[in-house]
Copies of this chain bind each other. A is one copy, B any other.
Amino acid sequence: MSDETGVPSADAESEQPAGVSRRGLFGLLGAGAAGLALGAAGGAGVTAAVAAQATTPASRVYPFFGAHQAGITTPAQDRLHFAAFDVGERTTREELRELLVEWSAAAAQLTQGLEIGETGAVGGSDLAPPEDTGEALGLPASGLTITFGFGPSLFETADGVDRFGIADRRPESLVRLPRFQGDALKPEYTDGDLCIQACADDPQVAVHAIRNLSRIAFGRASLRWSQLGFGRTSSTSTSQATPRNLFGFKDGTANVKSEEAAAVDEHVWVGAGEDAAWMTGGSYLVARRIRMLIENWDRTQLQEQELVIGRDKAQGAPLSGGTEFTEPDFDASGAAGQPLIDPTAHVRLAHPAQNSGVRLLRRGYNYVDGNDELGRLDAGLFFLSYQRSPEQFITVQRTLATDGLNEYIRHVGSAIFAVPPGATAGGFVGETLFA
């Protein structure tokens, strides 16, 4: 089991053939199997016991426990359900801690393709509400990962009261992002005390996870906003083809990939001694809902589109030449002396060379949420990036102030979260904060 990459090892001992749904077995065999599964989920053996050889996306199973949380360097799954929560005004420190304990226990089950609780959706008493809502009964794990984060507001004092007793444990850099040029943020897509990122190759599995975790939170935390993403816009593994965003361009070609161990350590994980101690092995997550003005974009000529991006649309090759993975040559110029990659091109401004060497691990998704009253699709990119410090995102986003792409996008939502390290088997995510 490789905690570093999140890739399930092919030689992990497996209790069952790949592709068989334990979720199904669990629900239908009743309390005996349920007890067994709960025991496994709570114990050290869970990841090895239920990991299956990944032969199809549906049969992929990622361990929940590990040095880092899964869902960061894990090869980006195809679908997303993301949720931000507000903790209730009267929720106590102990209740918040208990919520995190319950969330981790449920996430450990869900990510292994199990139902939540002791009896799942159909194994309990007829006279009680089922523990699990059941819409994922019979579906395999589908590569589900569940990643938890803490927003800056969780550490804030309310009316002078340090409500969870963690105000002094806030990492110095965990503050709301500064206002960037062009920001048009709406409260309904912004901020949050807690977040959960659920990624899977089956949207029903991701939705089921967020729904059941929201239900567990009832009375202690409630949904502030949530976002479905239907298609990934980044690769986080060299084994993945580069997907296209809704501008029709390949996106994330130069992303930090999980196989680049040194780059991941340098750019993604918080190192020992460089931040609040409880964040060692964690990361910072920036979420931005970026509305694309796709009707405007669609009316621009191909040359303008390619100039704005700095890559050709067909292959994703930089306009300085080569193929998709050729390094852009920002000094190259054409016959008339003009730079082949425009000074305002997105690929130039987002490049580490323009940002003191900073890189981000991007994990965004395409979204379409109906249309606005003018009949324009409410569509765009739900940008997610992981970095060892919020300063990395801030640096890049400030450089992008002159990005030609700004004419075609609006940042309408924004949030930042401290993503703590992974939980040890039997522990919970956030344990280092509440220790």
On A, residues with C-beta under 8 Å from B are 27-28, 79, 81, 86, 121-122, 124-130, 132-138, 202-204, 207, 210-211, 214-215, 218, 222-228, 230-231, 241, 244-249, 294-295, 298-303, 305-306, 312-315, 366, 368-371, 374-377, 379
Contacts and interface: CB of A to CB of B under 8 A. Distances in A.
Given A203-B230, A294-B133, A314-B137, A369 B369 contact: yes
This chain's copy number in the assembly: 2
B223 A137 contact: no
Contacts of A306: 126
A134 B248 contact: yes
Nearest to A81: B368
16 contacts: A27-B314, A121-B313, A128-B301, A130-B248, A134-B248, A134-B249, A135-B246, A135-B248, A137-B313, A137-B314, A204-B230, A210-B377, A211-B379, A223-B376, A226-B370, A228-B370
Contacts of A211: 246, 294, 377, 379
A153 to B, nearest CB: 16
6 nearest A-B pairs in the assembled complex, by CB-CB distance: A134-B248, A222-B375, A126-B303, A203-B230, A223-B375, A122-B314
Contacts of A303: 126-127
Nearest to A229: B203
Contacts of A204: 230-231, 244, 366
Given A294-B133, A366-B204, A371-B223, A127 B301 contact: yes
A399 B248 CA distance: 47
A377 B305 CA distance: 37
A317 B127 CA distance: 19
B203 A231 contact: yes
Interface centre among A210, A247, A302 (most CB of B within 10 A): A302
Contact of A129 (B202, B215, B302, B366): B302
B225 A135 contact: no
A135 B244 contact: yes
A10 B226 CA distance: 42
Given A211-B377, A366-B204, A129 B300 contact: yes
A313 B24 CA distance: 12
Given A129-B300, A130-B302, A215-B295, 20 more contacts: A121-B314, A122-B302, A126-B302, A126-B306, A127-B301, A127-B302, A129-B298, A130-B305, A130-B313, A133-B246, A133-B248, A135-B245, A137-B244, A137-B313, A137-B314, A207-B246, A211-B294, A211-B379, A214-B377, A228-B228
Contacts of A126: 301-303, 306
A210 B377 CA distance: 10
Contacts of A86: 375
Contact of A302 (B128, B215, B248, B368): B128
A367 to B, nearest CB: 9
A377 B128 CA distance: 22
Contact of A314 (B28, B223, B224, B379): B28
Contacts of A227: 370
Given A135-B248, A303-B126, A228 B368 contact: yes
A225 B130 contact: no
B122 A313 contact: yes
Nearest to A27: B314
Interface centre among A127, A315, A377 (most CB of B within 10 A): A377
B302 A137 contact: no
B226 A228 contact: no
A385 to B, nearest CB: 21
B299 A129 contact: yes
Contact of A368 (B202, B207, B249): B207
Contacts of A379: 207, 211
B368 A301 contact: no
Contacts of A122: 302, 312-314
